Amino acid sequence: MEHFDAIVIGTGAMGAAALMHLAARGARVCGLDRFPPGHDRGSSHGQTRLIRMAYFEHPDYVPLLRRAYELWHELEDVAGRPLLVESGLLMAGPPDGEVVAGALASAAIHDLPVERLTVSDAMARWPALRLPEEWAAVHEARGGYLFVEECVRAHAAEAVRLGARIEHGSAVRGWQTVGSTDQVGHVVVETDAGRYAADRLVVTAGAWAADLLKLPSLPLRVLRKSLFWYRPEATAAVDYTAGHLPCFAFDGPTGFFYGFPAIDARGVKIAEHSGGTTVTDPLHVDRGIDLHEQARVEAVLADHLPGMRGVLTDHAACLYTMSPDGHFVVGLHPQHDKVAIAAGFSGHGFKFASVMGEILADLTLDGKTSHPIGFLSPNRWL
């Protein structure tokens, strides 16, 4: 049975980043996954993900985001290609709603440069938009998007270059700690292809995390989400391209919807962050178009991007793994100090993958991190 310094279960966004940071610190590390990095069966696919600093979900995320931005740009230098585009992000909704008020609160606490706009100002700047007069808007110039599959592959490729090994094609069945003390103990991981041993373990299994974490106190719920792309009419196409339209997020009466300008021939991408369909088995997900979800996003396009009367060009389904409170679960396993976990990213975690890799390497090799992750502790449900 081969023995490593550390094993990472799951080589998606968080796992690939953890592999890279562990390998960069000289650890002999192996990543295990059923699928190869950059696959389309979990949560880390669909071309783009939003990134933003004025975090409405909780201001405590902002210090992590500062470091995440730095690390994404460092990864770009290593990969030799763009991964993060700071194209701007416009958030709009009721002035006292969670999105606008929360973003402004985070900006005030952390002295972030954001711009509060009236809807008239926003529509004058971006003619494609239509916003209700009772709404308010916040523009964050450093907001933008990450190329999701490219980010995962860049982390994985650099990890391998630094000496990490990635094994894919077989399922992880479980793990156990062996030995009674920290000095003699280790972890054994069971897969379809055999057993692996390591001094330490990292569990970043995404939608498959619930069965692997061995934490009955932490119920994780998996949701299916749909992504849609629409090509605008040719006469209005320029208004919807990157550089003419920022990324957008609408906190509307029917739900929270977000999207991206047209960056390729498929056109504008739009998705609903709220809602979703419960998934009982992540291996068997209906990846067809849900007509009800399609109607909901098209109603939002009609209300707020009325020039988007083009045709649906593409569709994808991805998975959210929801924690009970919608915040991440990151830290050492409450019952196993040899095991670091990162789970329950609840549909807003991808942008943090770069810094999560650094955090997981800290926890794995040092047993602690200087990053402020106390509010994300797995112990909050004990």
Pairwise CA distance, residues 360 & 332, whole Å:
9
Residue 319, CA distances (Å) to 95, 143, 254 in order: 30, 23, 21
Q: Which residues contact 72 (CB under 8 A, 6 or more apart)?
A: 51, 83, 84, 146, 151, 354
* Tokens read off for 110: 């952390």
148-177 burial: b if 16+ Cβ within 10 Å, else e: bbbbbbbbbbbbbebebbbeeeeebeebeb
User: 326: phi > 0 → left, psi -120 to 50 → alpha, else beta; which?
Assistant: left
Pairwise CA distance, residues 183 & 256, whole Å:
49
Nearest to 355 by CA among 84, 41, 46: 84
Pairwise CA distance, residues 250 & 99, whole Å:
8
Which residue has 């953890």 as its token pair?
A: 18
Pairwise CA distance, residues 349 & 327, whole Å:
9
Pairwise CA distance, residues 172 & 132, whole Å:
50
Q: Which residues are catalytic?
A: 45, 48-49, 269, 273, 318, 351
